Chain A
């Protein structure tokens, strides 16, 4: 029996709500690079709503074609093969939305982000959520949750992490968290009690330390 969670991703991913948090963090008229941009949904919003100059990076061919059809500037690159070609400080913001946990070498990618962008925005599903911990603790099985919907043998999320982990990680790669947003049930919150156990998603504005 496959106990895979039906819904592919929590609503945080969906157009209407999910990207609002990121869109709100970005100043109008700036330059934004979105790593793992998919079909360019976020970039299209930024371009249309905030007059942002956009560029995306995506590895999936079909998604890249879809983004080009939308008139989004995009590069079919594999993030894990590096971003050396982007000059230092060539973007105001570099976005890595729900992709961090899927990277082969997250440290290298985030270091590159800090070099390329003045600011970086990183969102990731929080593996520290109490329901996930409870599943593992009580059932002794790899957890399945709306934020982590794939069984262990088929998940693209090869590097699950918690909010605490992320704080350490950013320190380690030479960054500084400027602003931390926690998402619980579709609502963005800041400075909540016990974030590491209660937040479903983390969304952080990061800059080079």
Chain B
């Protein structure tokens, strides 16, 4: 193994090099709703080498809009979404660990989801895709892990929805995870979070109906996708903090010579957006439409909405009784979507039932997305590296 010095400050530099997406195929899964979904394809990537004892595997869990491409450079030259964190010598060191990341069930990046072909109709599932849960996503991940011949994961780690999955892993498969890192997550989505998701989905429902009749997506009206863009813009606002917006955009106008009276008033349903924050959001929205499927957005946000570890037992600590993993909970001071109080609720419940939990709130100004922002990576790197080393 080549000796590469530990990096103090990691960057998104594609240090791991080229990676190839892989696919695992399964007969199917009976969802929590009782519906059978199959056949099933799971898209995933792996990094590093699995040790002979198969005890160095780390499963990385992506958030709502993520995919299996977490590190390195894919065939299109695109960097992984957490490349700053994962690679040789980085926080999750691919010289030590075998890292796995898969696209979640219901996604649109290679794993079975609404854009996949429904074998019964030979057309994409679209909105006929069954309701799924975070638990279903985790069970599919467990199938993949088993398929790779791994009995016990060294660690599961994820932020936001990925953090929910990390918790779900620890509860559902206590003997299959040695440790979990739960970042900017919650054990149950807040009504505020449900509300934002509801508004986002309703924006999508406002679009002309695309394929509820099962017609081919290619013939769909050009206007589709505007709702998804609006949903993404709303989502993006919730991922940032007021402080970041002020610093990043302020009240700056996009056009320097704009005198304030030349703005468009939404003629033909189009407003150009003069403020920088507007044009930033518009870009986020329109680029999201290119890379994401609106029905996946619906299915995944529904799964997030229904995530509630308290529901069955009435008390969170009861749900945590069987947990065996060492758990690290990380929250961000500026995150108002999944605020520190929600992470604290997880920590409290774990303490109550004598579980091995560590907790840190990081004072980072970037809101819910702090774990993805490169400026937060140096401290995240130290924390995750230290924690992983302490897991035996």
A76 touches B390 (CB 8 A): no
B385 touches A69 (CB 8 A): yes
A65 touches B351 (CB 8 A): no
- 0/1 string, A34-65, CB within 8 A of B gives 1: 00000000000000000000000000010011
Contact of A75 (CB < 8 Å), options: B347, B363, B389? B347
Contact of A64 (CB < 8 Å), options: B326, B356, B360? B360
Contact of A74 (CB < 8 Å), options: B326, B351, B358, B389? B358
Stretch at the interface among A2-10, A84-92, A144-152, A166-174: A84-92
A108 at the B interface (CB under 8 A):
no
Interface size on B, residues (CB 8 A): 23
B354 touches A87 (CB 8 A): yes
B352 touches A87 (CB 8 A): yes
Interface centre among B347, B354, B358, B361 (most CB of A within 10 A): B358
A197 at the B interface (CB under 8 A):
no
A70 at the B interface (CB under 8 A):
yes
B321 at the A interface (CB under 8 A):
no
A140 at the B interface (CB under 8 A):
no
Interface size on A, residues (CB 8 A): 17
Chain B residues with CB under 8 A of A69: 382-383, 385-386
CA of A73 to CA of B360, assembled, Å: 11
Contact of B351 (CB < 8 Å), options: A61, A72, A86? A86
Which chain B residue has the least Cβ–Cβ distance from A75?
B359
Chain A residues with CB under 8 A of B328: 68
B379 touches A75 (CB 8 A): no
CA of A64 to CA of B358, assembled, Å: 10
CA of A76 to CA of B356, assembled, Å: 14
CA of A77 to CA of B360, assembled, Å: 8
B386 touches A70 (CB 8 A): yes
Chain A residues with CB under 8 A of B382: 65, 68-69
Chain A residues with CB under 8 A of B354: 87, 90
Task: Give the contacts of B335-392 with A (CB-CB under 8 A).
Answer: 347-348, 351-352, 354, 356-363, 379, 382-383, 385-387, 389-390
A68 touches B352 (CB 8 A): no
A76 touches B383 (CB 8 A): no
B363 touches A85 (CB 8 A): no
- Closest-CB distance, B387 to chain A (whole angstroms): 6
Answer whether A68 and B387 are a contact pair too, CB < 8 Å, given A74-B358, A75-B359, A76-B361. Answer: yes
Chain A residues with CB under 8 A of B361: 61, 76
Chain B residues with CB under 8 A of A68: 328, 358, 360, 382-383, 386-387, 390
A65 touches B352 (CB 8 A): no
Chain A residues with CB under 8 A of B356: 73
Answer whether A65 and B379 are a contact pair too, CB < 8 Å, given A71-B389, A71-B390, A75-B347. Answer: yes
8 examples of A-B residue contacts, CB within 8 angstroms: A65-B382, A68-B360, A68-B382, A73-B326, A74-B358, A76-B359, A85-B352, A87-B352
Q: With contacts A65-B382, A69-B386, A73-B326 known, what are 18 further pairs, Cβ within 8 A?
A: A61-B360, A61-B362, A65-B383, A68-B358, A68-B382, A68-B390, A69-B382, A70-B386, A73-B358, A75-B347, A75-B359, A76-B359, A76-B361, A77-B359, A85-B347, A86-B351, A87-B352, A87-B354
Interface residues, chain B, with chain A CB atoms under 8 Å away: 326, 328, 347-348, 351-352, 354, 356-363, 379, 382-383, 385-387, 389-390
Closest 8 CB pairs of A and B: A71-B390, A69-B386, A68-B386, A85-B348, A85-B351, A76-B360, A75-B359, A64-B360
Interface residues, chain A, with chain B CB atoms under 8 Å away: 61, 64-65, 68-77, 85-87, 90
